[in-house]
Structure 1
Amino acid sequence: MPGPKSPVERRKETQPILTDVEQVEHNGHIVDRTIKTVKGGWRQDLSSIILLLVLYTLQGIPMGLSGSIPFLLVDKVSYSEQAVFSLVSTPFSLKLLWAPLVDSLYFPSFGRRKSWLVPAQLLCGGMMLLARSVMDEWTGEDGGVPYVKTLTAYFLALYFIMATQDIAVDGWALTMLSRENVGFASTCNTIGQTLGFFISQVGFLALYDPGVCNKYFRSEPSDVGIVTLSTFLQFWGAVFLATTIWLCLFKPEVENGVTDETLGLVDTYKQLYKCVQLPSVRSFSSVLLTCRIAFAVTDAATSLKLVEYGMPKEEIAMLSPILVALGMMIPVAVGRITAGSRPMTVFLWGYPLRIAVTLMYLVVLPLSRKVYMMPGGDSEEEEGDDTGGGDTAKFFGWLITAVVLHEVAMNCMFVSQMAFCSRVSDPVIGGTYMTLLNTIGNVGGRWPNSLSLYLLEKLTFSHCVTEVGDIVEAASCATDDGKQLCTGAEGSCVAWLDGYTVQAWGCSLIGLIWLGFFARRVQRMQDLPAQAWIVSTKSN
């Protein structure tokens, strides 16, 4: 039996076209930092693409379920307790701290990525199975008081495990896929996480709610939903275990005849520090940390404003199937472009579209006031009209258009960003490198949203209006005492200048300035040679 073909032999057989060539040899292996044209194209990696889709989907299950818990806690706990639970996603912002451990410590006989991936998924599946018998008690579904701190600790642990799984999967994708197809890792990430979130958030809440089940899925009504939290945990816990056992037994980690080389733990942390010092990484970081200022108020407050103006949460949830369908189709549609040599071009296509969507919501929100008969609308003029004096068709037309365009722009930007990260990451410290760039991107998305929510109320100016339309000057809506005085005068606080409107115009202006300043920088980053991104001593 002939032995496995060497990387050089494999390269001669496939006759790749090399651009920006950087080939170095270490330990008998050739490391390429080039895009290759390989016979068979993406089809040669089809099985690996399917596996990545499954792994990213599983990642989205516990993360999406954590988004369902706040809905189960509504009217049972205070907003401050809800804020405590919102901290469960923190590990994804901190995973850079232990990413070098995942990259450098492993069992060679078992596999560099599987050494972390398999235990993480087994632990997650086991925790889901163990919690199924107590979750109703923790959430207060049995009629008791919810255990918010216990829930927070439980989902914090799940997020930590999934953050570790994400490091391993991101790193494995760089070597599991051929260099020609490594850009498809971002497509798998987007589709898989979107599907996982949909199943465990929208899907779970729909099948959990008796009203939805009785209306759409049952011929005879019942007081309980089709799915309970315990049965959901039991099913997906079993799926986690079964998938992981198959992965452990039947999926080898060595791909394309090349062994995934590594550095030691201390060297990996050193390379992480050197990576941060690279001018290319610093330039890219400035892009990631500032690009989402333009969309901060749209991402952070639009859904909250729609609910505030009276739109039922169930109607907002009904938009989710559209979002999920787009979230799965768009990555496929742009996959061939983002898998090429200039993926960030798609990022720049989506940016102005997303600014336009921010301004579209300035039309949507006033219409929602009219449709749902909130103060400040025109409901008084047509009290007998069940549309609340607004044009319902016009509102939903604008809303669906804005939602669709937002989803298109957001997915174009996210997929292209992830594809670019996959393209420039050094495979020797792949998990750490990808985690660094993703963490910077996460921070760049979080701080504008948090700042936007903080400023939202401070930039909103209201006055007290009675039922007959008189303004109560003595009741200042800027303070809690003033709001109570307004309520005592049988009035309500109506915004004459909404903080959302102020921020939407301000953010859009900042976005146009950003685009003018950073667009050329983004294009120049794509033209940098591969050496500009490499820090590892084993590949440089």
Structure 2
Amino acid sequence: MDEEYALNEMGDKEKLLPVSKLNEKKLEEVKPNLSKDLWDFILLVILYFLQGIPLGLALGSLPFLLKSKMTYSDMAIFAITNYPYSMKLLWSPIVDSFFNKNFGRRKSWIVPIQLCSAFLMFFFGNSVDEKMKLKEIPIGFITIFFTVMVILSATQDIALDGWALELLSKENLSYASTAQTVGLNTGQFLSFTVFLAFNSAEFSNKYLRSTPSEYGVLQLGPYLRFWAVCYFLVTLYLILLKKEKPCVDIIGSIKDVYQIMWKVIKLPRMRSFIVLLFIAKIGFVTNDAVTSLKLLEKGFKREDLSVTVLIDFPLQIIFGYYAAKWSSGKRPLKPWMWAFYGRIAAAILAMFVVKFFSISEKGEVSTGYFILIIFSTVLSSFMSTVQFVSIGCFFARIADPAVGGTYMTLLNTLSNLGGTWPRPLILKGVDVLTNYGECQGLPDDLQNISCKTSDGRHSCLTNGGQCEIYTDGYYTISIICIVLSFLTLFFFIKKEVRKLESTPKKYWEIPKDKEKE
């Protein structure tokens, strides 16, 4: 068997130490004490929460609002909004190297970004509802706006990840990913589940109104303007009341930061870790990106979908807390591995949920089947949360604090990219591999529209029709992804995780003598 190696303490590439001799020196076990950093933890949760508001709209609600008038190929265009959050590594050195010492290294970015986000949400909120009501929705314009919002959120995330390493004590670093999980999930929950429910005319007429209306009680425009005000108030608190610890400028020019980032990438254990992060989510992306859209396509109501996520949300918070505790031991990636198997199981279950979905003549789903959908959703979300928190805890424990923002962003970016890069391909693949029939439900003067072409499918949906499906590409794509996931798991991922856990923290740090070059 070939021996694996790591740099020695001096970073000398010519003198290598075999990792097999270091197995007994696993990452140090720590005992968290959250009460010590409670207020800083709450601040992190609030900032991550605000960050989750536009993300919940861009990555959650908007695809559902657009689906009635868009094909899967059109949705692949909007999926571009996912990429900035997964490509933030490209500009993270800028965030780490440019700042005002007197104002604060992290506040120098978080404050202006939140002000800019508030401005954009407020003014876009004045016109977005009119654009969403058009027969031909300006998908390009909407995609550009939400791409800009995701870029701003991604940039804030860079600064916030670095600030978390400074705000929390060493023994509480595992709670950095918990704060991110709780904050982001809560923000996305409000922008996804709550917003979709209150935006639904059926839900509003059934539960919130005495006089029916064709629109929900909450439209996208007022929602954006409300959160613009909240952004401004929190930013005002940061400016006037929150003091940041003085930073030690150990970073020179932006060129130095990019060089440091390159040194991090070149660390011996890092290269195989990057490969793992890049391929680990292939098996789950179809379930994450398409399953809910397929249920809606088959007649599942948006408000019923909101109920499933409503049930799932408090469980995510609980799972996030305990996942952080599980990940603070000597095997921080063990929960991640168990959740990997769970996500594969959830992806397989999701195919059966979609395949055998049926509704009554009244458009209702049976109680038993609704419970099955809830179970499938909670299982997938539970495993996803455990993986997210577990890998985040591992990132926080191995990151070199000297370049915390860049280091954490590098790892988070690659982890996010692993779930983002396949998404447009999968959405497009579902469309390409689906065998469509004729367009159903059109007025008499539009009966000649065919769903055989992408333009025909787009025309069918924008005119209020529905494409008949003979063979659904969703199942083909799902099976391909799950098979690839099993192959990568047994031939690479399991072995690599054991090696990652056996590598001491000092081998994840940039050698001190080279850092000053």
TM-score normalised by length of structure 1: 0.78
Q: 1:228 and 1:94 mapped to 2: Cα distance?
A: 31
1:521 to 491, 496, 499: 496
Alpha-carbon distance, 1:393 to partner: 4.0
2:322 matched to 1:329?
Answer: no
> Cα gap change, 1:461/1:120 in structure 2, threshold over 3 Å: closer, same or farther?
closer
Q: 2:499 and 2:162 mapped to 1: Cα distance?
A: 26
2:165 matched to 1:174?
Answer: yes
Decide whether the 8 Å contact of 1:35 with 1:179 is kept in 2: no
Deviation by residue 1:240-289 (Cα, 9 ceiling, x = unmatched): 1111111122222218xx85754432211101111111121112111111
Corresponding residue for residue 124 of structure 1: 117
Corresponding residue for residue 96 of structure 1: 89
Corresponding residue for residue 285 of structure 2: 296
Q: 1:260 and 1:35 mapped to 2: Cα distance?
A: 28
2:359 matched to 1:372?
Answer: yes
Q: How does 1:191-340 map to 2 (within 5 A)?
A: 191-222=182-213, 224-254=215-245, 261-340=250-329
Q: 1:463 and 1:208 mapped to 2: Cα distance?
A: 32
Q: 1:364 and 1:479 mapped to 2: Cα distance?
A: 28
> Cα gap change, 1:529/1:462 in structure 2, threshold over 3 Å: closer, same or farther?
same
Q: 1:236 and 1:480 mapped to 2: Cα distance?
A: 37
Q: 1:230 and 1:482 mapped to 2: Cα distance?
A: 31
Corresponding residue for residue 404 of structure 1: 378
> Cα gap change, 1:217/1:339 in structure 2, threshold over 3 Å: closer, same or farther?
farther
Q: How does 1:446-461 map to 2 (within 5 A)?
A: 446-457=420-431, 459=433
> Cα gap change, 1:354/1:424 in structure 2, threshold over 3 Å: closer, same or farther?
same
Decide whether the 8 Å contact of 1:260 with 1:428 is kept in 2: no
Q: 1:243 and 1:210 mapped to 2: Cα distance?
A: 32
> Cα gap change, 1:34/1:181 in structure 2, threshold over 3 Å: closer, same or farther?
farther
Corresponding residue for residue 108 of structure 2: 115
> Cα gap change, 1:536/1:106 in structure 2, threshold over 3 Å: closer, same or farther?
farther
Decide whether the 8 Å contact of 2:198 with 2:216 is kept in 1: yes
Corresponding residue for residue 135 of structure 1: 128
Decide whether the 8 Å contact of 2:284 with 2:347 is kept in 1: yes
Q: 1:358 and 1:262 mapped to 2: Cα distance?
A: 44
Decide whether the 8 Å contact of 2:196 with 2:302 is kept in 1: no
Alpha-carbon distance, 1:192 to partner: 0.9
2:37 matched to 1:58?
Answer: no
Decide whether the 8 Å contact of 2:122 with 2:224 is kept in 1: yes
Alpha-carbon distance, 1:506 to partner: 4.0
> Cα gap change, 1:288/1:80 in structure 2, threshold over 3 Å: closer, same or farther?
closer
Q: 2:81 and 2:480 mapped to 1: Cα distance?
A: 31
Alpha-carbon distance, 1:343 to partner: 2.0
Decide whether the 8 Å contact of 2:126 with 2:221 is kept in 1: yes
Specify the code of the residue in structure 2 equivalent to 1:436.
L
Q: 1:151 and 1:463 mapped to 2: Cα distance?
A: 30
Deviation by residue 1:363-394 (Cα, 9 ceiling, x = unmatched): 322320xx237xxxxxxxxxxx7689xx9344
Q: 1:342 and 1:197 mapped to 2: Cα distance?
A: 30
Q: 1:94 and 1:265 mapped to 2: Cα distance?
A: 18
Q: How many residues align?
A: 471
Q: 2:338 and 2:70 mapped to 1: Cα distance?
A: 43
Decide whether the 8 Å contact of 2:80 with 2:143 is kept in 1: yes
What are structure 2's unaligned runs of at least 5 residues?
1-8, 11-25, 439-449, 458-466
Which secondary structure does the structure 2 equivalent of 1:342 belong to?
coil
Alpha-carbon distance, 1:227 to partner: 2.9
Q: 1:50 and 1:351 mapped to 2: Cα distance?
A: 29
Decide whether the 8 Å contact of 2:119 with 2:228 is kept in 1: yes
> Cα gap change, 1:363/1:75 in structure 2, threshold over 3 Å: closer, same or farther?
closer
2:127 matched to 1:153?
Answer: no
TM-score normalised by length of structure 2: 0.81
Q: 1:54 and 1:356 mapped to 2: Cα distance?
A: 33
Q: 1:301 and 1:321 mapped to 2: Cα distance?
A: 19
Specify the code of the residue in structure 1 equivalent to 2:39.
S
Which secondary structure does the structure 2 equivalent of 1:268 belong to?
helix
Which secondary structure does the structure 2 equivalent of 1:90 belong to?
helix
2:322 matched to 1:347?
Answer: no
Q: 2:376 and 2:74 mapped to 1: Cα distance?
A: 32
Q: In percent, how many aligned pairs have the same letter?
A: 36
Q: 2:455 and 2:264 mapped to 1: Cα distance?
A: 53
Specify the code of the residue in structure 2 equivalent to 1:397.
I
Q: 1:277 and 1:151 mapped to 2: Cα distance?
A: 39
Decide whether the 8 Å contact of 1:62 with 1:158 is kept in 2: yes
> Cα gap change, 1:86/1:453 in structure 2, threshold over 3 Å: closer, same or farther?
closer
Specify the code of the residue in structure 2 equivalent to 1:403.
T
> Cα gap change, 1:421/1:269 in structure 2, threshold over 3 Å: closer, same or farther?
same
Corresponding residue for residue 16 of structure 1: none
> Cα gap change, 1:220/1:356 in structure 2, threshold over 3 Å: closer, same or farther?
same
Specify the code of the residue in structure 1 equivalent to 2:304.
E
Alpha-carbon distance, 1:59 to partner: 0.2
Q: 1:225 and 1:480 mapped to 2: Cα distance?
A: 31
Alpha-carbon distance, 1:505 to partner: 4.0
What are structure 1's unaligned runs of at least 5 residues?
1-21, 24-32, 374-384, 465-475, 484-491
Specify the code of the residue in structure 1 equivalent to 2:160.
V
